[in-house]
Amino acid sequence: MTKQMIKASALVLVPIALLTSCDALDELLSVEEPSRVVASDLEDPNSAQLLVASVANEFRCAHTYHASASAITGNEWRDASNNTVMNIWDARVHDTSGYGSQYASADCGSGQPALFRPLSRTRWFAEYVLGLLNEWTDADVPGRTEMIAEVAMYAGYTYTLFAESMCELVVVENGPVVTPAEAFGVAVERFDQSAAAGASGDLLNAVRVGKARAQLNLGQTSAAAGTASAVPEGFEWLLPFSSAENVTKNTQWRFNVDTNVATIAEPYRDFPCNFPWPSDMSTECTDELDPRVKVTDQGEGHPNTGIALWYAEKYDNAGSPVQLASWEEAQLIIAEAAIEAGNYDQASSIFNTLRTNVGLSPHMASMDMNGMMDQLIEERAAELFLEGHHLWDLRRLGMRPYPPIGQDDGFGAVYGNQLCFDLPATEFQNNTTITGGS
């Protein structure tokens, strides 16, 4: 997209209530070419609040689709329907063309997972709005710095999710290919920008969790723990959803409960008894079932495949909110840094506090690096279940994916090893920096 002309799709995620009450947006969408909005209409300071709300809505949809991608390509979900596209996501055999490129072409509202397009649009739109807010003055836009803080926070999380899911990516319009580490660095910059703009209260704590997450992903565990330590107990930042339209629905509920295209994978059934590998069980499990991973066997198979349907109770309707950031995630980051530093007592204390808070008994992990890392993986899997973390955890923590590489998926393919998504063909076709075009 250019700054001179903006596709109207950048605004489609504004809630219906806002759409019907906003005369300015009605005017924007009634231009002679309804598929496009002239940039000068949006570059009016009076549009500032609408633009900020639109960034938040774009991010919400990008996040819920990212979490679904993490669930199906990671270990949390399995394909239940033998849908061609879902099967590719589940089997970890993505490519950049044909059905395999669906992760790049599908968008918010799709009946299948989507990834590249929603995140790309959110990244671009957040940067566009930040640019406008930085050009305007406080006299033009009352509360301008608070708006900068909010948009920069969403931008930071967008770069983080992008880097956690892609093998490589582009973070500047028509720019060069960069590594996930470089994108995490940009995420840290945006979180710092938010804090510098005066983020406070819950917004500041969301910034702290996001920055700590990006620092952890960069291997800066000590710095990440320092950032996370300022997050107060009880904090959480929830992303709201609704049943108004497909673009506003919680897709974790939609794909698992509503349409049955995905079922809860075996490692998350009767958690932690089957975690992380059901085939590793040699004796009857006596562990307490973890209420953070509460799932239900529906007692029936998918009508097309007969595969057992298991639902997650975490999201029980289209409007169920999704947790973006929390004190619990901050504590897990601190625990990981403590393990790396050899402070196993501190890590164990954090784990047991988190378990006590949900009614579980302390878990007696081996007080060594291997035992504590196993416990960290289990606690992260439970605490962050279906929140979009697990695919990246598989990559950064070196976990074996389940089902194993090479196993028959039951639909004529075998499980692959692609735990990240390649830069799609569309980027190479349109990005002149990569192709050398002019």
In this structure, are strands 177-178 and 308-312 parallel, antiparallel, or unpaired?
Answer: unpaired
Report the C-alpha gap between 14 and 25 in whole angstroms: 10
- Give ∠ CA 403-409-412 in degrees, rounded to 5: 160
pLDDT at 6 > cutoff 70: no
Q: Max CA-CA distance within the chain?
A: 69
**Quick one: pLDDT at residue 179?**
96
Q: What is the pTM of this model?
A: 0.90
Cβ atoms 389, 325 nearer than 8 A: no
**Residue in this structure with the two tokens 């679904």, named with its chain if needed:** 68
* Bridge partners for 176 per DSSP: none
Report the C-alpha gap between 271 and 355 in whole angstroms: 14
Give the residue extent of every domain in the chain. Answer: 5-242+323-398
pLDDT confidence tier of residue 96, bands split at 50, 70 and 90: confident
* pLDDT single digits (tens) 42-86: 789 999 999 999 999 999 999 999 999 999 999 899 999 988 888
pLDDT confidence tier of residue 13, bands split at 50, 70 and 90: very low
What's the rounded mean pLDDT across residues 104-119?
90
User: How far is C-alpha 404 from the chain's CA centre?
Assistant: 24
Which H helix or E strand runs over 297? Answer: strand 295-301
* pLDDT single digits (tens) 311-327: 999 999 999 999 999 99
Instruction: Kindly report which listed range (1-5, 251-255, 382-386) carries the lowest average pLDDT score.
Output: 1-5
pLDDT at 36 > cutoff 60: no
Cβ atoms 372, 339 nearer than 8 A: yes
For the chain, the distance separating the N- and C-terminal CA atoms, rounded to the nearest angstrom, is 16
Please count the other Cβ atoms lying within 10 Å of the Cβ belonging to residue 244: 14
**Residue 312 burial (10 A CB sphere; 0-12, 13-18, 19+):** buried
Report the C-alpha gap between 151 and 145 in whole angstroms: 10
* Bridge partners for 66 per DSSP: none
The two tokens of residue 136 are 């305007």
Domain 5-242+323-398 fold: 1.25.40
* pLDDT single digits (tens) 177-234: 999 999 999 999 999 999 999 999 999 999 999 999 999 999 999 999 999 999 999 9
Q: For residue 272, is the peptide bond before it cis, meaning its omega torsion is within 30 degrees of 0?
A: yes
**Residue 307 burial (10 A CB sphere; 0-12, 13-18, 19+):** middle
Please count the other Cβ atoms lying within 10 Å of the Cβ belonging to residue 107: 18
pLDDT confidence tier of residue 279, bands split at 50, 70 and 90: confident
Amino acid at 86: M
Report the C-alpha gap between 152 and 203 in whole angstroms: 11
pLDDT at 11 > cutoff 60: no
DSSP state of 279: G
Q: Phi-psi category of 359—alpha, beta or left, where left has phi over 0 and alpha has psi -120 to 50?
A: left
The two tokens of residue 163 are 């880097």
**Quick one: pLDDT at residue 309?**
97
DSSP state of 361: P
Nearest residue to 372 (alpha-carbon basis) of 423, 412, 338, 329: 338
The two tokens of residue 132 are 């406008």
SS3 83: coil
**Residue in this structure with the two tokens 């085939």, named with its chain if needed:** 279
Report the C-alpha gap between 206 and 221 in whole angstroms: 18
